[in-house]
Structure 1
Amino acid sequence: MLFVVDASGSMAARQRMSAVKGAVVSLLLDAYQRRDKVGLVTFRGSAAEVALPPTSSVDAAAARLESLPTGGRTPLAAGLLKAHDVLRVERLRDPARRALVVVVTDGRATGGPEPVALASRAARLFAAEGTASVVVDCESGPVRLGLAGRLAGELGGTAVTLDELRADSIAGLVRDVQGTTRRAA
């Protein structure tokens, strides 16, 4: 299970990150109970980074998530491409392990040239490979653009809004998306 978390300025607004962190910690605990590996990619400013390579240590993932800095633009394409690279390496290590990507974002790609087009192309890489994905839509407020929902469509995945999210519902959604897979990466 690879978490791809938007840590841009728009995510820091209106206490979104505290809700996001709570949801991701719930998923981490669920992954630990199933003995899945978990990893964390974050993106903000002008780049993405692997905050935690895939590991069996949920404590390490939770600690990295808790200390996650926020701010700046949203390089969504960079985050997706970094996640794609992480999963490519994991597939080489264990081809039988099936990956699940959980993208946590409001979908507002603002980093780099042509950010929306680049994010769409990066998302289609996952769809072309059949990688299971969930997008947690963190957009809030009266005006909603629906960009995270479009991202989920391009990923070939499922979208769930942060407003609808409860700890038990996201864990159930992840189990539904994984279906009959053996173990998630």
Structure 2
Amino acid sequence: MSAPGKRRVETDVMKLLMSDYEVNLVNDNMQEFYVRFHGPAETPFAGGVWRIHVELPDQYPYKSPSIGFMNKIFHPNIDELSGSVCLDVINQTWSPMFDMINIFEVFLPQLLRYPNPNDPLNGEAAALMMRHPKEYETKVKEYVQRYATKEAVDAASGKGETGEDSDGDAEMSDMGSISDDE
């Protein structure tokens, strides 16, 4: 990574660390970390807490970051199993003018507020949203209650009731993909 690129990563990650977001670096590496993200108010995702995995490529900020939801979410533009996000601003129209804080303050909240069922990663969520909006909203809320509670995120990140890191946070290799065994 070039010196300006490294400096940009450090600047963007420091902005996140100094924000209200809870950020956990993986092995003190500023190119890979987890962010605790809260669902936007006045949406079916309100009250939900997700653990977002972020990886910054060596070409950052000229190449977009990789973003993934670690706990399940029911949304037309988020793959339920992998947690991958289908978001134009991250996948196609990313610009070096954007920084990491934009993703958590603007892009992800807007994605949850205004899903695009015409470009789905989760066909079931897209179909339900278009055909039966009330049922879609009910299912989103069920997922929030089941998979996106503070307790679910703490369990996924290896934190105990005290909120302190347990040994489970040191090795994240088992969190590479979300299993479907619940």
TM-score over 0.5 (shorter chain): no
Q: Which is helix-richer, 1 or 2?
A: 1
Give the TM-score normalised by the residue count of structure 1.
0.30
Greater fraction strand: 1
TM-score by length of 2: 0.30
- RCO (CA 8 Å, sep 6+): is it higher in 1 or 2? 1
